C-alpha cells in the first residue's frame, strides 16, 4: 500500500497540464473515464488514489491548473485555496450552485458550464412528466402489467393537458423551451422570475404564490440559490390547490420535500412529476406507493445526443483555456440571476 501511495503521489511524467477531477461525472459511469480525453491535457483522479483527498491535493497543489466537476461535486473556497495555480473550473452541469463563485471571482478563476446543451432535453422531460401525471400513463401501465385490467375493469380516466393554465418558475433557457412546447397543446402560459421579460407574451407574476393561485400546474425551472431554497413550500402548494400538479426538473431543495409529501398523501394537490429530490439519491419512501407521483432519477438532461454535445463542450473549454483562447461557454461571475437554468 505504501508503494502504491508513493506512486499515486508522484506528478505525471510529461508536460501536459493537469486537470483535477474531484468526483467522477455521470458520463464516466456511462461511457468510461476516457470520455473527456484530449491530447492537450491530462486528468488527476483523487478517487483512484489511496491518499486522503487533502493529502492528494497538497501533493499536486502546484500542478493543478483546472478542475472538472459536476452537480454532485462541490468546489469550495477551501479547495480553491489549496490550489495556487488554479485558473479554470469547468462543470458538466448548467446549474452552478455547487461552485463558490465568490472565491473564483476573488481569485480571478474562470468558470465554464454546460451552456444551454441540456435545455431542450430538460424541457422534453418536463412536458413528459406533466403529461404522465395528468393522463396517468405510468400508473395505467402498472395496472395493465399487474393483470388488473381483465379482473377490475377499465382504469380511471386522466385529464387533458390542452387548455390548462401552466405556470413556469424561472423563464431561463429551460423554462423558455418548456413554454414553447406547451404552446402547441395549447396551454395558457404564465411565469415568475426576478423581473418581467418584455420580449415574451406570457403573463408575469412577481410572486410565486400568486402564480400558483392562477395555475393548474407549476413547472420548476429556476436555479437553486439561497433565495430559491424551499421556495415552493406549504403556502405555494396550498395556493396550487387540490386540482394542481407540480413538476420539478430543476433542483430538489427548491421544493420543501416534507411539505410536498404531506400534500400528496392528503391529496391536497392532484399529483407531482419529480426528476430531482432534496436528498439524492434518497427518495421519500412515502412517494413510492403513490400513483399520483411520477419519478425519474435526475436524468432529465441525459440523452445520448446531449452527452456527446457535452463532451465536445467540456473538452473544447479546456483546450481553449490551455491555448489562451476564449472559452466556449463562460459563466459570468457577477451577481447570478435566480431564475436561470438549473441542471
251 is catalytic: yes
Quote the DSSP letter at residue 255: B
Whether 36 and 57 have beta carbons less than 8 Å apart is answered as: no
CA-based nearest residue to 65, from 43, 45, 49, 96: 43
Range 322-329, long-range pairs (CB < 8 A, 24+ positions) = 322/17, 322/40, 322/41, 322/65, 322/66, 323/40, 327/88, 327/110, 327/112, 328/112, 328/115, 329/112, 329/113, 329/114, 329/115
Q: Report how far apart, in Å, the C-alpha atoms of 328 and of each of 63, 113, 188, 313 are.
A: 24, 9, 35, 7
Catalytic pick from 251, 270, 338, 343?
A: 251
229 is catalytic: no
Whether 293 and 270 have beta carbons less than 8 Å apart is answered as: no
* Residue partners of 48: CB distance under 8 A and separation at least 6: 8
Catalytic pick from 280, 308, 309, 319?
A: 280
CA-based nearest residue to 159, from 136, 176, 185: 136
Quote the DSSP letter at residue 49: S
What CA–CA distance (Å, rounded) separates 82 from 62? Answer: 9
Q: Is the peptide bond before 186 cis (omega within 30 degrees of 0)?
A: yes
Quickly tell me which residue has 480525453 as its cell: 37
What CA–CA distance (Å, rounded) separates 34 from 15? Answer: 19
Catalytic pick from 60, 270, 298, 338?
A: 298
280 is catalytic: yes
Q: Beta-carbon neighbour count of residue 301 at 10 Å?
A: 25
The strand pairing partners of 42, in sequence order, are: 18
Which residues are marked as active site?
Answer: 251, 280, 298
Amino acid at each position: 500500500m505504501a508503494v502504491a501511495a508513493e506512486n499515486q503521489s508522484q506528478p505525471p511524467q510529461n508536460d501536459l497540464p493537469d486537470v483535477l477531477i474531484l468526483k467522477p461525472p455521470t458520463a464516466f459511469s456511462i461511457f468510461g473515464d476516457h470520455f473527456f480525453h484530449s491530447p492537450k491535457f491530462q486528468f488527476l483522479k483523487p478517487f483512484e488514489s489511496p491518499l486522503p483527498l487533502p493529502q492528494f491535493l497538497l501533493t499536486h497543489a502546484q500542478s493543478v491548473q483546472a478542475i472538472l466537476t459536476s452537480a454532485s461535486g462541490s468546489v469550495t473556497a477551501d479547495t480553491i485555496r489549496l490550489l495556487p495555480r488554479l485558473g479554470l473550473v469547468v462543470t458538466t452541469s448548467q446549474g452552478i450552485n455547487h461552485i463558490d463563485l465568490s472565491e473564483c471571482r476573488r481569485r480571478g478563476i474562470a468558470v465554464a458550464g454546460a451552456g444551454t446543451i441540456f435545455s431542450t432535453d430538460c424541457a422534453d422531460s418536463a412536458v413528459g412528466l406533466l403529461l404522465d401525471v395528468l393522463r396517468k400513463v405510468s400508473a395505467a401501465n402498472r395496472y395493465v402489467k399487474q393483470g388488473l385490467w381483465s379482473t377490475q375493469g377499465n382504469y380511471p380516466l386522466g385529464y387533458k393537458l390542452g387548455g390548462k393554465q401552466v405556470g413556469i418558475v424561472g423563464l431561463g433557457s429551460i423554462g423558455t423551451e418548456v413554454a414553447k412546447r406547451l404552446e402547441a397543446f395549447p396551454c395558457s402560459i404564465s411565469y415568475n422570475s426576478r423581473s418581467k421579460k418584455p420580449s415574451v407574451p406570457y403573463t408575469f407574476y412577481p410572486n410565486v404564490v400568486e402564480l400558483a393561485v392562477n395555475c393548474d400546474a407549476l413547472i420548476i425551472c429556476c436555479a437553486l440559490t439561497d433565495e430559491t431554497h424551499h421556495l415552493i413550500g406549504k403556502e405555494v402548494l396550498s395556493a396550487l390547490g387540490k386540482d394542481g400538479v407540480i413538476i420539478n426538473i430543476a433542483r430538489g431543495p427548491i421544493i420543501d420535500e416534507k411539505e410536498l409529501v404531506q400534500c400528496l398523501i392528503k391529496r391536497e394537490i392532484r399529483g407531482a412529476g419529480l426528476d430531482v429530490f432534496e436528498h439524492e439519491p434518497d427518495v421519500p419512501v412515502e412517494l413510492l406507493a403513490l400513483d399520483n407521483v411520477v419519478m425519474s432519477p435526475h436524468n432529465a438532461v441525459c440523452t445520448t445526443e446531449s452527452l456527446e454535445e457535452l463532451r465536445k463542450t467540456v473538452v473544447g473549454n479546456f483546450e481553449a483555456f490551455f491555448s489562451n483562447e476564449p472559452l466556449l461557454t463562460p459563466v459570468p461571475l457577477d451577481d447570478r440571476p435566480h431564475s436561470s437554468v438549473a441542471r
